[in-house]
Amino acid sequence: MIHRLCLLLVLPLALLSACDNTAEPVFHDQYLAFGTLIEVTFYGVEHAYAETVSTEIELQFMTWHHDWHPWEPGPLTETNTRLATLQPFTPEPALLPLLAEANRLSRLSNHLFNPTIGKLIAVWGFQGNPLPEGAYPDPATIEQWLAQAPTVDDVSIQGTQIVSRNPQLAYDLGAFAKGYAIDQLIDHLRKRGIHNAIVNTGGDLRAIGTRGERAWNIGIRHPRREGILARIKTSGDTSVFTSGDYERLFEVDGKRFHHILDPRTGYPATGTSAVTVVHENAATADAAATALFVAGTDDWQAIARRMGIDRVMRVDSAGVIHMTPAMQAITELNEDINAEVRITH
């Protein structure tokens, strides 16, 4: 089809060369940042221009990787150090909208997505590599943290100033920064005239436009084995974010301890293997996937409603797949999946 179009239409030279080189004019690039593999895909963009814009994206990811890093020294760790003094100060200005949006989404999630639990994440050893093997934190340390459990309500942002009232409070944006970054970069792509693209951070992505005449086709990883659990058909502008207990974990005496913590208990959240959220905006989808993972069996539907999310697929720890009707409408389970599926409102 594409070749025929190339022959029939008088196309700019550059687009012709894209048609010559590949069956479809798809540009693909990848780089490492945010502790994961970042992939960009553009459809129908002249190659040299695609390279230029992809390099802009890469540089931006590298800058944010440094600026938002939860434990390597930079603007976010500096902000955490100053917050712990409980005195007002002016952080790096670019951080303020990021923190304000994280705070807003945290409130919307009833604090289950809680970006202020950096110290708890550090106690568990999830800030750093490699992960601890053979030991988990002293329960007394977790109890001490719980006694002062911070939330975003302990922070005030006024103008360019920020202040904390809780000495245990430290930001870790690991559950939200990828989504926030992707939203900014999709805006950038549009400004640069690119309207058919995917920005993918380790399986969490936002897709805009189409892949030629077809919708983008997004695979969701199976939480318990190699391969695909389901495919999602996107249309228009769609973000697909998954939080899973298989991303970062360690085992002690055969028990898994994974990286998504329940701020109510101080321990890894239970009841769920993976949650996938589909939503227009990537920052919201990212925060919501984490929040619904934490919400678990009893609360996930109520929290989804609060956050304005109608497309959710949740695999519980028994392997049962729960889907909202709106999610079912865009999801095709892989043919080898014979798990129980429950459609719930």
Phi-psi region of 227 (alpha: psi -120 to 50; beta: other; left: phi over 0): left
Find how far residue 238's CA is from the centre of its chain: 13
Half-sphere exposure of 180 (CA within 13 A, CB side): 22
Q: Is the Cβ of residue 54 or residue 243 nearer to ligand ADP in the bound state?
A: 243
Q: Give the nearest residue (CB) to Mg ion.
A: 290
Closest CB to ligand ADP among residues 172, 183: 172
| Token representation of residue 185 | 């970069």
Residue span binding Mg ion (CB under 5 A) among the ranges 42-50, 167-175, 264-272, 293-301: 167-175
CA dihedral 302, 295, 242, 194 (to 10 degrees): 50
Out of 29, 39, 67, 247, the residue judged to bind ligand ADP by CB under 6 A:
247
Is 286 an interacting residue with respect to ligand ADP (CB under 6 A)?
A: yes
Least distance from ligand ADP to the Cβ atom of residue 201, Å: 8
Give the residue, chosen from 260, 283, 309, 323, that forms a contact with ligand ADP under the rule CB under 6 A: 260
Number of other residues whose CB lies within 10 A of the CB of residue 51 = 12
What is the length of the chain? 345
**Within 10 A of 233 (CB to CB), how many other CB atoms are there?**
14
Q: Which stretch binds ligand ADP (CB under 6 A): 24-32, 57-65, 135-143, 254-262?
A: 254-262
| Contact call for residue 245 and Mg ion (CB under 5 A) | no
* Closer CB to Mg ion, 152 or 289, in the complex: 289
Give the Cα separation of 130 and 133 in Å (integer): 9
175 lines the binding site for ligand ADP (CB under 6 A) = yes
Q: Tell me: does residue 223 bind ligand ADP (CB under 6 A).
A: no
**Segment near ligand ADP (CB under 6 A), from 22-30, 145-153, 206-214, 286-294?**
286-294
Q: Which residue is nearest to ligand ADP (CB)?
A: 174
Is residue 80 within the footprint of ligand ADP (CB under 6 A)? no
- Judged by CB under 6 A, does residue 263 bind ligand ADP? yes
Q: Helix H segments across the chain?
A: 2-8, 13-21, 47-67, 75-83, 95-108, 118-123, 139-147, 177-191, 282-306, 325-328
- Rounded alpha-carbon distances, angstroms, from residue 132 to 77, 101, 116, 223: 22, 32, 22, 22
Our finding on whether 281 is near Mg ion (CB under 5 A) is: no
What is the four-CA torsion angle of 126, 128, 129, 134, rounded to 10 degrees?
A: -50
Does 284 engage in binding with ligand ADP (CB under 6 A)?
A: no
Q: Which residues bind Mg ion (CB under 5 A)?
A: 175, 286, 289-290
Q: Which residues bind ligand ADP (CB under 6 A)?
A: 113-115, 117, 121, 126, 172, 174-175, 204, 243, 247-248, 259-261, 263, 286, 289-290, 294
